[in-house]
Amino acid sequence: MTTTSTVNNNTPTGAAAGAASSGSASSAQSLQDQFLTLLVAQMNNQDPLNPMDNYQLTSQLAQISTVQGVQDLKSVMQTISSQVDLGQSMDAVSMIGKHVLFPGNSLKVDTDAATGTRVMTPVGVDVQADAHDVVVKISDSTGRVVRTMDLGAQDAGIVAPNWDGKDDSGNTMPDGKYTFTVAATDQNGNAVAADALTYGQVGGVSYSTQGVRLDLGLAGQVSMLDVRKVLGS
């Protein structure tokens, strides 16, 4: 399988970020120069009998210091944002070829033509807190529940259901697409947050106004933040 990383013009480059920072600095310096020019002119033309008091002078100097500080902070934040974007881009490219789990409820059953081995796509359950009982229900393409798996008590974390491809009666289910749901409860029977995780392989990386996106082929695109577990290459 050939994997590619696509980059479009929505990604800010270091040069663009530098230009924006330079522009902000130039604007701040120009504003400061204008303010000081006006302040000096005001002092030169003040009424000798009613000169500007120290409070007024201090107040106006504080204003220009505040403006300069805001501009400096903006420049620093732009630099940090640029570095974060660069770091995310490098992390995303390193994900190409990796197998990942992300929120979703689909799974697929196939039979290897060469060996006759049943192959189920890996899935997972992300249990958000310690649970007294976790139950997974698998349904066929018509929505009929064919298998109920009681995983028992589980600590917070990602759990693999490991379905064997059979229904509750032990019959082998045909190849095809299935879905699954998850329900977790605590000792008092109260619901515990738990997410179904489905499988995909990262084939490429793209950049958009939504940030870095991982291309998972038929599974679509997901954000880097959606990846709950990396299974390897």
pLDDT tens digit sequence for 80-102:
555 555 556 667 788 889 999 99
Question: Would you state the pLDDT for residue 5?
Answer: 43
CATH node for 99-232: 2.60.40.4070
Radius of gyration of the chain (CA): 30
pLDDT tens digit sequence for 93-137:
888 899 999 999 999 999 888 888 888 889 999 999 999 999 999
Confidence of residue 208 (pLDDT cuts 50, 70, 90): confident
Question: Would you state the pLDDT for residue 131?
Answer: 97
Lowest mean pLDDT among 74-78, 85-89, 206-210: 85-89
- First and final C-alpha spacing in the chain: 12
More confident site: 167 or 43: 167
pLDDT tens digit sequence for 14-37:
444 444 445 555 555 666 676 667
The pTM of this model reads: 0.61
Lowest mean pLDDT among 93-102, 120-129, 163-172, 200-209: 200-209
